[in-house]
């Protein structure tokens, strides 16, 4: 890591303290949920990938205009852009660049994972600030199924680029138990992933005490979340599942350290598509969708401050 | 699946029989290994992503010109294209389209995996023939760590598009044992993944008896490969690890059924970069790199015919 680089965990913790909240806004654009007016032919089926990608770019940038003054970090979901082919890739690159210009920490959610040299290509593309044409995100998500030599290239590139890598430990979906919860010597598989991640977090920790290796831990399993917090004291948690997936502020409280640090809480649909959800849909209507985004973000911040250690940030 | 669609496994088995070999050529372009003459500034550091992507496109298409008459199927590695950002995506789309025009079965290697609705976006983008801007591959690779609701969307889209999905069961890298080999009730984790895959293969089988759900099983663990073949009689194996990763034709013999079907054997660097490897580098030199590709492909076909049940295809 060069002398000019600030450690990822220190940057993230500092951004959370500056914004006084740990909200991670997920950018998961879906054609069917975009607000009216974002394309001309609203109501008809769009089939031009370039037009859909342009609508995603504009929508995401207009979401960023609202949330950039409020939250520390955002997470574009690569799947929804990749779905559109090359036009989607171009739109995603513009969204990442716009977010970074606004000072947001960008976690590009790709859940990539491959064997050594191929993982190194993903890592370079996603995180390396010197990679020609690369995505230049601050951090990414990584799938651990391939083992340590599939994860280490992400850690190496993150270390030299001032970036971070969040490894999937326990995901928020219903089916996550199928393999992640299988018992190995009386303990679930995801504990073994957790131990590896915590070891690498400890070995890569910054001034704040947290490592540049983080963990994805779903909010939909609050007891497991609490246990993982004790198992992984040097690991920042990226917590999905809040809002649309059913988890509440109380459910995520155990993700934080005593000072309200150590965790970022993701909400995608509950914020970016607030214009489709009560009470925001009634209060603002579809044309004031950006006010719905703002209100949903502020409500989430207030809920986290009221119900979790993140209240200490306020 | 519409009436006009032919089941993926039937298509793949039929292509293997038509070509009389099970070779899967991996397209893993790497800047440092490209043949001379593919860019003007050979010897200097290329930093323009559009120029690198153009070189990748040209190189891959010229590899396809050589291998399309010889082998049934190819596997572009998404990582090396994604590494270049949007320019890489555009190049990859052209390579996929060119391969399909040549009649090759295209397995797009992305090892994607996410929760339900996001996995559905990946699946639609990769496999759905109706997806605007989508990649329109014949099959893709899928990471199982998220559980069945992360894999099922790929199976659903594959079923309605005449495509396939190869789930990572046991990967070829050194570190694959770290989590995949952990013992659950006395058996390694990857057996549980294998049982799920086999069940879904059985449920989705075509006329040939194999399912549209396949398995990635590394050739670098020959004994595990043999055991998995018995555990997964309805599952086509995509076998990486041949050649550069050290596995030989003998090591992959157990992947096949008695008639030489049921498996495709991947080789990337050993074919596409044959001009850098003995004996081809000495025989053809760097300027005749396409002849090196052809010779390496024919040698691999001959080795598989000599040492494995694929000899019955000849």
pLDDT tens per residue, range A106-139? 999 999 999 999 999 999 999 999 999 999 999 9
Q: How far apart are the first and last CA of chain B?
A: 32
Mean of the pLDDT values across residues B94-113?
A: 98
CA distance A75 to A264: 11
CB contacts, 8 Å: A132 with chain B = 46-49, 52, 84
Q: How confident is the model at residue A294 (pLDDT cuts 50, 70, 90)?
A: very high
Burial A65-95 (b: 16+ CB within 10 A, else e): ebbbebbbbbbbbbbbbbbbbbbbbbbbbbb
Sign of CA dihedral B10, B11, B17, B23: negative
Given A115, A133, A193, which is nearest B179 (Cβ)? A193
Residue A47 has pLDDT above 90, yes or no: no
Residue B45 is predicted with a pLDDT of: 66
Q: Is A82 on the interface with B (CB under 8 A)?
A: yes
Count of A–B CB contacts within 8 Å? Answer: 216
Contacts of B47 in chain A (CB under 8 A): 132
Residue B100 pairs in a beta bridge with none
Which chain A residues are Cβ-neighbours of B87 within 8 angstroms? Answer: 133
User: Which residue in B156, B165, B116 sits closest to B137, CA to CA?
Assistant: B165
Best mutation site among B49, B80, B83 for testing chain A: the one with the most A CBs within 10 Å? B83
Cβ–Cβ gap B185/A189 under 8 Å: no
Q: What is the CA radius of gyration of chain A?
A: 19
Q: Do A93 and B86 touch (CB under 8 A)?
A: yes
DSSP B260: S
Q: How many helices and strands, by DSSP H and E, does chain B display? A: 13, 10
Residues of B in contact with A137 (CB under 8 A): none
Mean pLDDT value of segment B160-166: 97
A75–chain B Cβ distance below 8 A for any pair: no
User: Are A72 and A12 in contact, with CB atoms under 8 Å apart?
Assistant: yes
Comparing CA positions, the residue from A296, A254, A287 lying closest to residue A71 is: A296
End-to-end C-alpha distance for chain A, whole angstroms: 32
Q: Which of B49, B119, B171 sits opposite A132 (nearest CB)?
A: B49
CB–CB contact B85 A144 (8 Å): no
Q: Does A2 have pLDDT greater than 50?
A: no
Chain A positions touching B134 (Cβ under 8 A) are 49, 83-85
- Interface contact B185, partner A, CB < 8 A: yes
DSSP state of B209: S
* Tokens found for residue B149: 């609701």
- The mean per-residue pLDDT over the stretch A86-104 comes to 98
Per-residue three-class SS string for B111-155: EECCCHHHHHHHHHHHHCCCCCCCCCCCEEEECCCCCHHHHHHHH
| Contact by Cβ (8 Å): A201, A213 | yes
Indicate the DSSP class of residue B5. P
Q: Which residues of B touch A28 (CB under 8 A)?
A: 118
- Mean pLDDT calculated for residue range B242-254: 92
CA angle B65, B71, B77 (to 5 degrees): 75
Contact criterion met (CB below 8 Å) for A24 and A75 = yes
Q: Of B310, B80, B107, nearest to B214 (Cα)?
A: B107
Share of chain A above pLDDT 70, in %: 96
Q: Residue A37 — pLDDT band, cuts 50, 70, 90?
A: confident
- Strand-pairing partners, residue B263, are B237
Mean of pLDDT values over B57-84: 98
Give me the pLDDT at residue A244, please: 82
Residues A236 and A216: their CA atoms lie apart, in Å, by 9
Beta-carbon separation of B93 and A85 below 8 A: yes
SS percent in chain A: helix, strand, coil, step 5: 50, 15, 35
Residue B90, CA atoms < 13 Å, CB-side half-sphere:
15
Q: What is the mean pLDDT of residues A150-164?
A: 97
Between CA B20 and CA B22 the distance in angstroms is 7
Distance CA A79, CA A84 (A): 9
Can you give the pLDDT at residue B47? Answer: 84
A148 interaction partners in chain B (CB closer than 8 Å): 175, 178
Q: Is the pLDDT of residue B115 over 60?
A: yes
Average pLDDT over every residue of A174-185: 97
Residues of B in contact with A269 (CB under 8 A): none
Of A32-41, A138-147, A275-284, B150-159, the one with minimum mean pLDDT is A32-41
- Section B134-159 average pLDDT: 97
How many other CB atoms sit within 10 Å of the CB of residue B56?
A: 27
Asked if the model's pLDDT at residue A216 lies above 70, the reply is yes
Looking at the complex, does the CB of residue A116 fall below 8 Å from at least one CB of chain B? Answer: yes
**Is B150 close to A125, i.e. CB distance below 8 A?**
no
Contact B182 A192 (CB under 8 A): yes
- Rounded to an integer, the average pLDDT of B169-180 is 96
Which of the four pLDDT bands, split at 50, 70 and 90, describes residue A45? low
The residues of B that are catalytic are 111
The whole-number average pLDDT for the span A135-164 is 97
Q: Is B239 on the interface with A (CB under 8 A)?
A: no
Using a CB-CB cut-off of 8 Å, the residues of chain B touching A135 are: 85
- The whole-number pLDDT of residue A59 equals 97
Give the pLDDT score at B200: 98
pLDDT at res. A287: 85
Pairwise CA distance, residues B9 & B138, whole Å: 11
Angle subtended by helix axes A289-307 and A49-67, to nearest 10 = 50
Residue matched to tokens 């999937």? A168
ipTM over 0.85: yes
Q: Is A184's CB within 8 Å of B180's CB?
A: no
pLDDT at A236: 98
Active-site residues of A: which are they? Answer: 111
Structure tokens belonging to residue B235: 């599952």
Cβ contact, residue pair B124, A49, below 8 Å: no
Chain A contact for B311 (CB, 8 A cutoff): no
Comparing C-alpha atoms, which of A271, A121, A95, A127 is closest to residue B29?
A: A121
Q: How far apart are CA A257 and CA A235, in angstroms?
A: 10
> Is some CB atom of chain B closer than 8 A to the CB atom of A132?
yes
State residue B1's pLDDT score. 44
pTM comes to: 0.97
DSSP string, A69-136: TT-SEEEEBHHHHHTTTHHHHHHHHHHHHHHHHTT-EEEEEEEE--SHHHHHHHHHHHH-TTSTT---
CB contact under 8 A, B133 and A175: no
What's the average model confidence in pLDDT over A69-97? 98
* φ and ψ of B219, to 5 deg: -75, -10
Residue B245 has pLDDT above 90, yes or no: no
Q: Is the pLDDT reported for residue B96 higher than 50?
A: yes
Q: What is the mean pLDDT of residues A3-30?
A: 95
Averaged pLDDT for residues A242-254: 92
Q: Which domains does chain B have, with CATH numbers?
A: 8-313 (3.20.20.70)
Residue A193, number of CB atoms within 10 A of its CB: 23
Three-state SS at A164: strand
How far A244 CA lies from chain B's nearest CA (Å)? 12
Q: How many residues does chain B have?
A: 314
Task: Identify the band that residue A38 occupies on the pLDDT scale cut at 50, 70 and 90.
Answer: confident
CB of A246 within 8 Å of any CB in chain B?
A: no
Reduced to 3 states, what is the DSSP secondary structure of residue A230? helix
Closest by Cβ to A134, choosing from B83, B173, B180: B83
B129 touches chain A (CB under 8 A): no
Q: What is the mean pLDDT of residues B182-193?
A: 98
Q: In this model, does residue A57 exceed pLDDT 80? A: yes
In whole numbers, what is the pLDDT of chain A averaged over residues?
95
Do you find a cis peptide bond into B262, omega within 30 degrees of 0? no
Residue B57 has pLDDT above 80, yes or no: yes
Asked whether the predicted pLDDT for residue B119 surpasses 70, the reply is yes
User: Nearest chain A Cα to B137, which residue?
Assistant: A85
Residue A149 in tokens: 């030599």
Res A245: pLDDT: 82
**Three-state secondary-structure class, residue A214:** strand
Give the residue from B88, B146, B161 with the most A CB atoms within 10 Å of its CB, the best one to mutate. B146
Asked which of A75-89, A205-219, A263-277, B237-251 is least confident by mean pLDDT, the reply is B237-251
- Of the pLDDT bands very low, low, confident and very high (cuts 50, 70, 90), residue A1 is very low
- Nearest residue to A54 via CA among A74, A36, A29, A79: A29
8 A C-beta contact, residue A244 and residue A195: no
Average pLDDT of span B224-235: 97
Dihedral angle at the C-alpha atoms of A133, B114, A218, A60, nearest 10 degrees?
50
The conformation of residue A310, written as its DSSP 8-state character, comes to G
pLDDT per residue as tens digits for the range B8-45: 999 999 999 999 999 999 999 999 899 987 865 555 66
CA of A24 to nearest chain B CA: how many angstroms apart?
Answer: 17
| Residue B17, min C-alpha distance to chain A (Å) | 30
Which residues, 6+ apart, have CB-to-CB distance to B181 below 8 Å?
A: B188, B189, B190
In the predicted structure, residue B2 carries a pLDDT above the cut 50 = no
């Amino acid at each position: 890591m060069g002398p000019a680089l600030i450690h990822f965990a220190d940057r993230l913790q500092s951004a959370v303290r500056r914004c006084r909240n740990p909200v991670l806004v997920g950018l998961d654009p879906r054609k069917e949920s975009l607000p009216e007016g974002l394309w001309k032919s609203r109501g008809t089926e769009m089939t031009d990938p370039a037009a859909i990608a342009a609508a995603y770019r504009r929508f995401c940038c207009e979401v960023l205009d609202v949330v950039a003054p409020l939250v520390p970090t955002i997470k574009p979901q690569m799947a929804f852009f990749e779905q559109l082919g090359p036009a989607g890739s171009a739109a995603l690159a513009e969204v990442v660049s716009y977010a970074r210009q606004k000072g947001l920490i960008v976690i590009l959610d790709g859940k990539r994972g491959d064997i050594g040299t191929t993982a190194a290509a993903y890592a370079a593309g996603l995180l390396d600030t010197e990679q020609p044409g690369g995505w230049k995100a601050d951090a990414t998500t990584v799938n651990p199924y391939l083992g340590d030599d599939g994860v280490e290239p992400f850690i190496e590139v993150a270390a030299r680029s001032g970036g971070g890598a969040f490894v999937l430990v326990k995901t928020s979906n219903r089916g996550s138990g199928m393999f992640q919860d299988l018992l190995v010597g009386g303990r679930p598989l995801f504990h073994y992933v957790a131990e590896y991640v915590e070891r690498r977090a400890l070995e890569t920790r910054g001034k704040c005490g947290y490592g540049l290796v983080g963990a994805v831990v779903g909010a939909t399993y609050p007891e497991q979340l609490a246990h993982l917090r004790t198992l992984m004291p040097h690991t920042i948690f990226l917590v999905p599942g809040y809002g649309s997936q059913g988890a509440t502020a109380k459910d995520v409280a155990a993700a934080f350290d005593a000072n309200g640090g150590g965790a970022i809480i993701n909400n995608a649909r509950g914020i970016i598509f607030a214009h489709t959800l009560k009470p925001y849909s009634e209060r603002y209507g579809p044309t004031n969708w950006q006010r719905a985004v703002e209100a949903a973000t502020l409500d989430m911040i207030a809920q986290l401050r009221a119900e979790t250690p993140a209240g200490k940030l306020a």
